[in-house]
A and B are shown apart, each in its own frame.
Chain A
């Protein structure tokens, strides 16, 4: 009973936290409209929203919550596969929430002092942040498909408010690209889910996976689902919202966007695709997925190094890392036999990237408002997650080793080589972002015992130790032996060397090209194409409209003519009256003649 309640509370508590602020404002009689002092919005209770999830992730055992009346039959579960996801998601949300209290402190002060504009924007964030969290937790816990889709949709749409929080032109652009791409993703997911559910007639995700494996059109369904979740996971070609939306969101929101929310796309793949099912017959799709993944991993690295905004560089790094994860999912489709060994690694990789990318994003805010720490310590702590993401130290090293071992065993040596190349790219991206952070660093030191630096410190430490605390179901993380280190570290060494060379060249040469490579790359092409298509459509619509109105006019004219003819009939009336008597007499006379003759 108790854990069942806890599962419900995990989702319900953020919702209650969300509703608290407007209710409180309503109690205080139109506090929204009144000028003057306003209540504190991002208080300690607000930051407590992900705590029940954290408790649930630490609660031992597997539990199920059944709710007959909920949607089409609610079934929420906590099992060993979901636990690591819940754990790192809740942890990153907690850290980001604490960080946000510091990051938005100035806005909060302005709002408390009576600045209506800041207060409204902050109120939006204070309400939609827990809602996004609730959606994220629901999608992890849901086993019935409607709840899963509900969680996914709630998370996607409420995160829009987090993206556009700044309210400037860039924010609206980022928000628009985010929303449009998300809508396409949702539509593809809906199509795939409906098709699959109609074919298999199930409401659970496990039933769905088995069903797709056996279905006749399984390949097409899997493709739809892969593309749909691929928008969130930043698959090459569908990734365009990431570099536009990440830099404009407030830093803690970028951290959860990149750390947890794009992982929801990966989680969607793992929940719906028949990975590791030898009867699925999706090998060709799997090979395509691997290629797309590697394309994203390498392409994003190449484009990302030209970016100037550190958060844009980090966004491209996220695309690159998600490309690697995509390739691994492709391996699961192409070689189902390898999946049992690989699945734990994928989860480890996801958690490692989520936490580390979260720490890196939070670090951008830290370098802008540096706390009063010795400068070597501060920058060592900023460099640590970057090195870890490149795979040189701590959690990154362990993840890379575990991954490499699993792939070598499965005969994917060439894929390992490509991934190592992508790791060179990651190193370059990390060098680029750190360089940009250094150039844009702030000089007003803040006390280090404040929520923001403490949350960041905790995030860095937690990210470094992901393999130690992540509750993986099987296998778990391994640490490489000493003799394997050169094989693991060469991409980092090459990357650092390349970064130095490029940096020296860039200092000498005026690098004009990079100014033209705006973040969002393909987005601009898509936008132009859509604009073109829309114009064509509008033109076509006008032509049809004109033809239709001409047809209508002709019909109306005909009808009027008919009405005129009808009124004309009345004129014959008089002649009828005059004709009646002679007609009768004529008939009578004819009859009489007939009788006389007959």
Chain B
């Protein structure tokens, strides 16, 4: 057990910050900001240390037994590190953004406290070494996000919060049952030890298939697979940084990450393939991709359109892992990172438009490119990436998805990809057209819904720079995909671990 303190310390950075934040008085703005940023930076540094250690082949494991047969286990592997790296990077950006966004609102103490808890759960999910630990943090995430979703406290937010709890808690129950059943069947399920289930497969394959479907059902609510996606567009009432985090790393990604763990580390891709369960995933993913895009097309407001786009895009991850072969794995993993970067950028932009100009509907965006050029440029990059155009990161995902589809012997998936690209273009390009080509209030036609001048540049510095940074990251992740430590490089590492024992 070497350097066991590292995963524990990473978890502690945000878990221990939460009570301190709750203890600070509401008006201690600076103390809270410094504390939040320091914790985010510390965590990012720890994750970097662990990623470097991982490349050098070092192990980081921490664990203790809770009761006989059930243990709490934190472990570092390539898959978890990808998710941890993404969440700590985006946590830093979102913390900066949230400090600027909530500058004048009430209940900031509550917000940042639960915000820290939420990120602690995400880190816990990524470092969890067995199914029990995973479940623990997964449920903690559900509970800690609820106060963030209903932060505004108006009836609409409360209704959305209730709906959110309804969906996630029932799914949590199903997941719990599935996990307990698996424990009864084989004892403790440590991620990566797949021999137990493989040995069982010969005589009890119908049972295993049933259990897989139960677990999948439990996970797919958070992953927003159709038809269980209903809570996500409604949860749009949350403040912009929450939506950004919810869509990019926290809730939706946790669901997708859970499916990844289920396929690769509980059942193992080989077993899942032999049980014929990958086909189920492919079908689900394809339906979700197309349905999400079609629904996005019909939305008139910016954030719901982005929400349905998330429904569609997160399923790319599921699609990637459902394609049997290393390329499919690379595609799924790399999109886990890329989608996070691009979607967080888009939500920051939506938040910037809402804060600075009071824009919520798409048809109010006319000519906003002139008023807010950097934000609009960031939005353009994110949107082009979602369509899958090079050199933004989304292109790399799409490329490997295509390769994976052919490798898995399912070239028809390419048709789904192409159709989804066209649909993405159909709902993003009109927005870009409005931003850059339509004359609007910036050209002396009409007025912005509620214009405020928040900062020296187009908006407040706290809001602008995280947006620009994540947009740049999404561009560089695609443009320099061949460099070491790029998302693609990490994903390739995961795939080699998975297929070359």
A150 and B391 contacting across the interface, CB-CB below 8 Å: yes
What B residues does A69 contact at CB under 8 A? 480-483
- In whole Å, how far is A511's beta carbon from the nearest beta carbon of chain B? 37
A191 and B399 contacting across the interface, CB-CB below 8 Å: no
Given the known interface contacts A69-B483, A72-B399, A146-B390, the answer about A198 and B411 at a Cβ–Cβ threshold of 8 Å is yes
What B residues does A164 contact at CB under 8 A? 437
Contact with A along B406-417 (1 / 0, CB 8 A): 110001001101
Contact with B along A39-69 (1 / 0, CB 8 A): 0000000000000000000000000000111
B403 and A191 contacting across the interface, CB-CB below 8 Å: no
Given the known interface contacts A183-B425, A184-B422, A190-B421, the answer about A157 and B389 at a Cβ–Cβ threshold of 8 Å is yes
A70 and B480 contacting across the interface, CB-CB below 8 Å: yes
Query: Is B354's CB within 8 Å of the partner chain A?
Result: no
A71 and B406 contacting across the interface, CB-CB below 8 Å: no
Task: Give the A-B contact count at a CB cut-off of 8 A.
Answer: 92
Given the known interface contacts A164-B437, A184-B422, A190-B398, the answer about A217 and B391 at a Cβ–Cβ threshold of 8 Å is no
B407 and A198 contacting across the interface, CB-CB below 8 Å: yes
Q: Which of B327, B399, B404 has the most CB of A within 10 A?
A: B399
Contact with A along B380-399 (1 / 0, CB 8 A): 00000000111100011011
- In whole Å, how far is A183's beta carbon from the nearest beta carbon of chain B? 5
How many residues from A make CB contacts under 8 Å with B? 35
**B window 440-468: CB within 8 A of A:** 443
What A residues does B421 contact at CB under 8 A? 187, 190
Query: Is A303's CB within 8 Å of the partner chain B?
Result: no
Query: Is A496's CB within 8 Å of the partner chain B?
Result: no
Query: Is B173's CB within 8 Å of the partner chain A?
Result: no
Taken together as a complex, chains A and B put the C-alpha atoms of A70 and B398 apart, in Å, by: 17
Taken together as a complex, chains A and B put the C-alpha atoms of A73 and B478 apart, in Å, by: 12
Residue in chain A with minimal CB distance to B419: A187
B411 and A195 contacting across the interface, CB-CB below 8 Å: yes
B422 and A198 contacting across the interface, CB-CB below 8 Å: no
Contact with B along A114-142 (1 / 0, CB 8 A): 00110010000000000000000000000
Q: Which of A68, A73, A184, A191 has the most CB of B within 10 A?
A: A191
- In whole Å, how far is B494's beta carbon from the nearest beta carbon of chain A? 17
Taken together as a complex, chains A and B put the C-alpha atoms of A187 and B406 apart, in Å, by: 17
Contact with A along B271-306 (1 / 0, CB 8 A): 000000000000000000000001000100000000
B411 and A217 contacting across the interface, CB-CB below 8 Å: yes
Query: Is A199's CB within 8 Å of the partner chain B?
Result: yes
What A residues does B437 contact at CB under 8 A? 164
Q: Which of A73, A193, A198 has the most CB of B within 10 A?
A: A198
Query: Is B52's CB within 8 Å of the partner chain A?
Result: no
What B residues does A288 contact at CB under 8 A? none
A195 and B481 contacting across the interface, CB-CB below 8 Å: no
Given the known interface contacts A72-B396, A187-B422, A190-B421, the answer about A195 and B402 at a Cβ–Cβ threshold of 8 Å is yes
A194 and B402 contacting across the interface, CB-CB below 8 Å: yes
A187 and B418 contacting across the interface, CB-CB below 8 Å: yes
A197 and B482 contacting across the interface, CB-CB below 8 Å: no
Query: Is A541's CB within 8 Å of the partner chain B?
Result: yes
How many residues from B make CB contacts under 8 Å with A? 37
Given the known interface contacts A179-B429, A190-B421, the answer about A195 and B390 at a Cβ–Cβ threshold of 8 Å is no
- In whole Å, how far is B330's beta carbon from the nearest beta carbon of chain A? 11
**B window 343-397: CB within 8 A of A:** 370, 388-391, 395-396
A194 and B414 contacting across the interface, CB-CB below 8 Å: yes
What A residues does B398 contact at CB under 8 A? 190, 194
What A residues does B483 contact at CB under 8 A? 68-69
A191 and B414 contacting across the interface, CB-CB below 8 Å: yes
A195 and B482 contacting across the interface, CB-CB below 8 Å: no
A70 and B418 contacting across the interface, CB-CB below 8 Å: no
A195 and B414 contacting across the interface, CB-CB below 8 Å: yes
Q: Which of A71, A74, A193, A199 has the most CB of B within 10 A?
A: A71
Residue in chain A with minimal CB distance to B444: A116
What A residues does B404 contact at CB under 8 A? 198
B390 and A194 contacting across the interface, CB-CB below 8 Å: no
B390 and A71 contacting across the interface, CB-CB below 8 Å: yes
A146 and B399 contacting across the interface, CB-CB below 8 Å: yes
Taken together as a complex, chains A and B put the C-alpha atoms of A183 and B384 apart, in Å, by: 12
- In whole Å, how far is B229's beta carbon from the nearest beta carbon of chain A? 12
Given the known interface contacts A164-B437, A190-B418, the answer about A68 and B403 at a Cβ–Cβ threshold of 8 Å is no
Taken together as a complex, chains A and B put the C-alpha atoms of A120 and B414 apart, in Å, by: 40
Query: Is A241's CB within 8 Å of the partner chain B?
Result: no
Query: Is B61's CB within 8 Å of the partner chain A?
Result: no
CB < 8 Å neighbour of A72 from B370, B401, B481 = B481
- In whole Å, how far is A526's beta carbon from the nearest beta carbon of chain B? 15
B406 and A194 contacting across the interface, CB-CB below 8 Å: yes
**B window 465-501: CB within 8 A of A:** 478-483, 488
Taken together as a complex, chains A and B put the C-alpha atoms of A493 and B198 apart, in Å, by: 81
Given the known interface contacts A146-B395, A149-B390, A187-B418, the answer about A194 and B298 at a Cβ–Cβ threshold of 8 Å is no
Query: Is A173's CB within 8 Å of the partner chain B?
Result: no
CB < 8 Å neighbour of A70 from B370, B406, B479 = B479
Query: Is A474's CB within 8 Å of the partner chain B?
Result: no
Query: Is B405's CB within 8 Å of the partner chain A?
Result: yes
- In whole Å, how far is B226's beta carbon from the nearest beta carbon of chain A? 11
Taken together as a complex, chains A and B put the C-alpha atoms of A183 and B423 apart, in Å, by: 10
Query: Is A153's CB within 8 Å of the partner chain B?
Result: yes
Taken together as a complex, chains A and B put the C-alpha atoms of A184 and B421 apart, in Å, by: 10
Query: Is A201's CB within 8 Å of the partner chain B?
Result: yes
What A residues does B406 contact at CB under 8 A? 194-195, 197-199
B422 and A197 contacting across the interface, CB-CB below 8 Å: no
A191 and B482 contacting across the interface, CB-CB below 8 Å: no
Residue in chain B with minimal CB distance to A552: B230
Taken together as a complex, chains A and B put the C-alpha atoms of A74 and B414 apart, in Å, by: 24
Residue in chain B with minimal CB distance to A71: B481
CB < 8 Å neighbour of A197 from B402, B429, B478 = B402
A71 and B402 contacting across the interface, CB-CB below 8 Å: no
B391 and A71 contacting across the interface, CB-CB below 8 Å: yes
A71 and B407 contacting across the interface, CB-CB below 8 Å: no
CB < 8 Å neighbour of B422 from A70, A150, A183, A199 = A183
Residue in chain A with minimal CB distance to B384: A157
B389 and A198 contacting across the interface, CB-CB below 8 Å: no
Taken together as a complex, chains A and B put the C-alpha atoms of A73 and B481 apart, in Å, by: 8
Taken together as a complex, chains A and B put the C-alpha atoms of A187 and B396 apart, in Å, by: 15
What A residues does B402 contact at CB under 8 A? 190, 193-195, 197-198
B390 and A150 contacting across the interface, CB-CB below 8 Å: yes
A197 and B390 contacting across the interface, CB-CB below 8 Å: no
- In whole Å, how far is B433's beta carbon from the nearest beta carbon of chain A? 9
What A residues does B391 contact at CB under 8 A? 71, 150
Residue in chain B with minimal CB distance to A145: B399
Taken together as a complex, chains A and B put the C-alpha atoms of A527 and B483 apart, in Å, by: 45
- In whole Å, how far is A394's beta carbon from the nearest beta carbon of chain B? 40
- In whole Å, how far is A461's beta carbon from the nearest beta carbon of chain B? 38
- In whole Å, how far is B447's beta carbon from the nearest beta carbon of chain A? 17
- In whole Å, how far is B84's beta carbon from the nearest beta carbon of chain A? 24
- In whole Å, how far is A214's beta carbon from the nearest beta carbon of chain B? 15
Taken together as a complex, chains A and B put the C-alpha atoms of A201 and B478 apart, in Å, by: 19
A71 and B482 contacting across the interface, CB-CB below 8 Å: yes
Taken together as a complex, chains A and B put the C-alpha atoms of A68 and B484 apart, in Å, by: 10
Taken together as a complex, chains A and B put the C-alpha atoms of A323 and B444 apart, in Å, by: 47
Taken together as a complex, chains A and B put the C-alpha atoms of A321 and B396 apart, in Å, by: 36
- In whole Å, how far is B492's beta carbon from the nearest beta carbon of chain A? 11
User: Can you spell out 21 A-B residue pairs with CB atoms less than 8 angstroms apart?
Assistant: A71-B391, A72-B481, A73-B482, A153-B390, A183-B429, A186-B389, A187-B418, A187-B421, A190-B388, A190-B398, A190-B417, A191-B415, A194-B405, A194-B417, A195-B406, A195-B414, A197-B402, A197-B403, A198-B406, A198-B411, A541-B294
Beyond the given A190-B388, A190-B418, A198-B327, could you list 16 further A-B residue pairs with CB under 8 A, ordered by the A residue number?
A67-B482, A69-B482, A71-B479, A74-B482, A150-B395, A157-B389, A183-B422, A183-B425, A183-B429, A191-B417, A194-B399, A194-B402, A194-B417, A195-B411, A198-B402, A198-B406
Point out residues on B near A: beta carbons under 8 Å.
Answer: 294, 298, 327, 370, 388-391, 395-396, 398-399, 401-407, 411, 414-415, 417-418, 421-422, 425, 429, 437, 443, 478-483, 488
Shortest beta-carbon contacts, A-B, top 6: A198-B406, A194-B402, A69-B483, A150-B390, A69-B482, A191-B418
